[in-house]
Amino acid sequence: MTVPASVLVECPQCKAETLHEVLSGKLGGKSVSVLDSTVKCKDCGHVHHVTVKTPKPVEIPIVLSWLQESSRGKIVLGPDEVLSVGDEVMCGEMPTLVTSIESKGARVKSCKASKIDTVWAKRFDKLKIPFSVNNHGRTFSDFVMAVPDEEFFIGDILELNKKQVAIHSIRIEERTIRTGSALARDVVRVYGAVVRKTLQHGARPKD
Tell me the CATH number at 35: 2.20.25
Torsion sign over Cα 47, 53, 54, 56: positive
Q: What is the pLDDT of residue 1?
A: 58
- CA 152 from chain center: how many Å? 19
Q: Do 23 and 41 touch, CB atoms closer than 8 A?
A: no
Domain boundary among 95, 123, 151: 123
Q: So what's the pLDDT on residue 92?
A: 83
Instruction: Give the number of other Cβ atoms within 10 Å of residue 56's Cβ.
Output: 12
Res 140 pLDDT > 70:
yes
Within a domain: 199: no
Q: Are residues 131 and 110 in the same domain?
A: no
More confident residue, 81 or 177: 177
Task: Confirm whether 175 is domain-assigned.
Answer: yes
What pLDDT was estimated at residue 4? 81
pLDDT at residue 44 greater than cutoff 80: yes
Residue 204: inside a domain: no
Tell whether the model's pLDDT for residue 2 goes beyond 60: yes
pLDDT higher than threshold 60 for residue 204: no
Instruction: Indicate the pLDDT class of residue 199, thresholds 50, 70 and 90.
Output: very low
Strands 94-103 and 181-183: unpaired
In this structure, the answer to whether residues 26 and 41 fall within a common structural domain is yes
Query: Which is more confidently placed, 10 or 53?
Result: 10
Taking 50 as the threshold, does the pLDDT of residue 51 lie above it? yes
Average pLDDT estimate for 101-129:
93
Query: Cα separation of 160 and 135, whole Å?
Result: 11
In a domain, 157, yes or no: yes
pLDDT for the residue 207: 45
Number of domains in the chain: 3
**Does the global pTM surpass 0.75?**
no
Q: Say yes or no: 132 and 175 in one domain.
A: yes
Is there a domain that residue 203 lies in? no
Shared-domain flag, residues 32 and 64: no
* 82 shares a domain with 51: no
Residue 202 included in any domain: no
In a shared domain, residues 29 and 85 = no
Average the pLDDT over 142-167 and give the result: 93
Q: Is 30 inside a domain boundary?
A: yes
Measured from the Cβ of residue 5, the count of other Cβ atoms closer than 10 Å reads 7
Mean pLDDT score across all residues of the chain? 89
DSSP H helices, 4-120, are none
Distance between CA 172 and CA 52 in Å, rounded?
A: 47
195, 133 Cβ separation under 8 angstroms: no
Give the domain extent around 42: 6-55
Instruction: Assess whether 117 and 62 both reside in one domain.
Output: yes
The C-alpha atoms of residue 196 and residue 113 are separated, in whole angstroms, by 54
Please determine, for residue 126, whether its predicted confidence score (pLDDT) is greater than 60.
Answer: yes
